Structure 1
């Protein structure tokens, strides 16, 4: 009994010593200070571990911060509640302005600013605040929803600090970068990280190519600058991957070579000029792709070549594996589309490919898009090829090559020759005539099938 009591006392003493040591050395309090302003959402925290990489960001930050602006977008919101005013006047009777914010980058001393399309979308008023807190009204020069790039213009009294586009093709995985934005209109804010990946695609529908970084980017940073340690603009910050809406480790930027080309097209043509190669690649990670071993190919497998395209005229064939473009290595489809997005119709590129064990280098002249999407009808139509003209027995019209999920499958592979008794000669006619129709306006569409029969549809 005495032995058991002694062991109990020893155990009790050891426990007390252990608990005291833990409290003394390890259990230090963590303090969280919140400002006295109830509206503030900022919480001071301890500084993190210093970056000992040897990279110096001061020059890049000095070059960048004054060229990044705050963009305020006022849209016509809707606060209809189903009351009597809504019944008589519709939702317009109870519209309230809504404010969205983002960032932008000055790219010329006379006030041209590049930002994201989603930052300025549906705006009725745009204001830009410079890093010196001067405020200007902004005009939209043009926008491209596909690349999420928009171009604004402000009229300042003096030349403005600006950033020139760098060459995003030369950016390397592992390279240090800065993300600079003006998310809360508190003057420009700088965060640092590395390039985690290139040619990232965020959608199965659009094979857009993004630069992925681990530099902290939060809502409001959209449209800001991604720069390297030299201060070169290599990207426009666009998106984050998050289930909460806040930054959790990855952010994505439109490469500068794509943004630059879009901006130049908007300034010169008012829209984006797409130079198309004219090939399609199979979707990877499908059962069929795995069976054929396509997932293991380093390069782009050519599954089809569009008739009368640049690829067709240059001699590309089904089964070719594209390995590079203009001496730039291509390992996946997003790398190819990312490079082509910086090109226009008429540009010539050199495609390096593998065919039956041999390496070929073929010059290809890119062509203008031969199709257009008619969103009001849920159709994609393309210009007729020589083969189509013979098959359908027509010289003019547009062929339906794809349909939306809610559209009739019977439309596929038929030629539209008239809409509301107006002749359709090509995709320009189709886009002009159908875009001018109201959503609720009656449409008479005349089709021709492969038997040469005319069919008229009233929608």
Structure 2
């Protein structure tokens, strides 16, 4: 039962799934998942010597805490369902052909549910970092220090999109802390250490290496997970991932598991990303993320060639939502966003993160690639209300035109075709009536029933326009042609190469 489980506030995530943050472990009632926290600078931690982490553990362990949450029974799923982030993980893995099993029922009745997670102290006055899913919907939060002291905790702020939360406890004395590290300096193969409270058995330390960087699990605009092989399990969620110097380089957040336990595939939020979010949460309690209002997709080599771009970098705008900041600023379908606020955009994920980090109302410069040249725009960022997406993304046997070199048969959008495809009158273009399975269009993903709206950023009105535009691209020496496809209620750019025709 392979699954991505967010180590959620409870044992509910003990099943095979991607568990957010090495999950929280349940007590007598269903629990929720806990996630990572980070710490503020403290005394210098000794380097690892002779292959032992003993000195690092001795310095860091006192700053790692156990977080116990209590929630209403109605907040604890009787069917073992996971949080919204767990659902996004499930969808991601099912898209990869890996089914997500349903969790066994965890709640057996009662008025309250309890769960365990982990966290860590980042300032000596009691500021603690953990995952949002650890404390989500909690009506009571308690923190247990390494010495066994149990204290009530106040939630200072939480951000579901980054899955981070900040707590505050009052201990009446300075507390041990962990310093933030530099996650950007991590390299594949670097040694790391995970600390937390798996299954509620007590603080546990596991070691491993950095297995991969930049993992995108499609859970939000901040997806840039560090993949590790250090064993993390339910209850580790929210605990620190530290480097050989004992500094926090990540927050343990999720695992991939066929059985609910660790199989060496874990995920942590990078500290460089978390530290910025934590600072905002500590100051204001919440984050109002920026919103642009576009559907975006990657720029492949074929797309870059089709539009005359030297490198396959940027974020291709597949659609601009009406009435959004992007629409008001002049962003157009087919634009490739290259920079925002002077920061380079190399991928759609870069754009999503840059926009999400901006404050609503901020006015930023944006550079896009349009019609073979750079165009400078000024964008006033909007607010994201949670329902808006982040810059995140035919049968007609009449007259058919066969497009040169790509292997499609096209038909005009007649009234009968429009009715069959449920297309509104304002949709223009040509419908794909047939696709040759041995030609480039099929390999690129073109399907029967797709409507070709534009060719190389030029709107087309019918089959003959598509044929003419494709022929012009061939004649100009292009290696591929960029088609804007409307399929259902989604628009997508597809670059179709000529070489394999």
TM over 0.5: yes
- Between the aligned partners of 1:60 and 1:177, the Cα distance in structure 2 is 11
Give yes or no for the alignment of 1:61 onto 2:61.
no
Tell me, yes or no, if structure 1 residue 249 matches structure 2 residue 272: no
Task: State the shift of 1:352 in Å.
Answer: 7.1
In the TM superposition, what are the counterparts of 1:275-424 in structure 2 within 5 Å? 275-276=290-291, 279-282=294-297, 297-304=312-319, 318-322=333-337, 331-345=346-360, 367-369=381-383, 371-373=384-386
The alpha-carbon deviation at position 240 of structure 1 amounts to 0.9
Q: Is residue 69 of structure 2 the alignment partner of residue 73 of structure 1?
A: yes
Q: Is the 8 A contact 1:208 1:337 kept in 2?
A: no
Equivalent position of 2:285 in the other structure = 270
Of 218, 222, 227, which aligns to 2:242? 227
Query: How do 1:143-162 and structure 2 match up within 5 A?
Result: 143-162=158-177
Counterpart-to-counterpart distance in 1, 2:176 and 2:365: 37
Q: What is the aligned-residue RMSD (CA, Å)?
A: 4.5
Match of 1:201 in 2: 216
Secondary structure of the equivalent of 1:248? coil
Matched, 1:117 2:132: yes
5 Å-filtered alignment, 1:213-224, equals: 213-224=228-239
- Contact 2:162/2:220 (<8 A) preserved: no
Change beyond 3 A, Cα 1:278–1:170: farther
- Structure of higher CA gyration radius: 1
The SS at the match of 2:237 is coil
**Secondary structure of 1:100's aligned partner:** strand
Q: Distance in 1 between matches of 2:346 and 2:389?
A: 31
Does 2:186 align with 1:190? no
CA contact (8 A) 2:226 2:270 kept: yes
Mapped to 2, the partners of 1:304 and 1:255 lie a distance apart of 31
Match of 2:99 in 1: none
What's the CA shift string for 1:340-365, capped at 9, x where partnerless? 5444446687767666666x696977
- 1:292–1:244 CA distance, 2 compared to 1 (3 A): farther
**Displacement of 1:254:** 2.0
- In structure 1, the residue matched to 2:409 is none
CA shift, 1:124, in A, is: 2.9
> How far does residue 269 in structure 1 lie from its aligned partner after superposition?
2.7
Instruction: Give 1:37's aligned residue.
Output: none
Between stretches 140-149 and 55-64, larger displacement belongs to 55-64
CA deviation digits over 1:61-95, x for unaligned, max 9? 3442221111112233379x9xxxxxxxxxxxx63
Alignment partner, residue 274 of structure 2: 259
Cα contact 2:296–2:318 (8 A) shared by 1: yes
Q: How far apart are 1:307 and its partner, in Å?
A: 7.3
Tell me, in whole angstroms, the C-alpha distance in 1 between the residues paired with 2:227 and 2:305: 30
Contact 1:314 1:362 in 2 (8 A): no
- Structure 1 stretch 327-336 or stretch 156-165: which is displaced more? 327-336
Instruction: Look up the SS of the partner of 2:385 in the other structure.
Output: strand
**Alignment coverage as a number of residue pairs:** 311
For 1:59 and 1:311, the matched residues in 2 are separated by: 52
User: In 2, are the aligned partners of 1:209 and 1:335 still within 8 Å (CA)?
Assistant: no
Shift of residue 203, structure 1, vs aligned partner: 2.8
- In structure 2, the residue matched to 1:165 is 180
Q: Does 1:176 align with 2:191?
A: yes
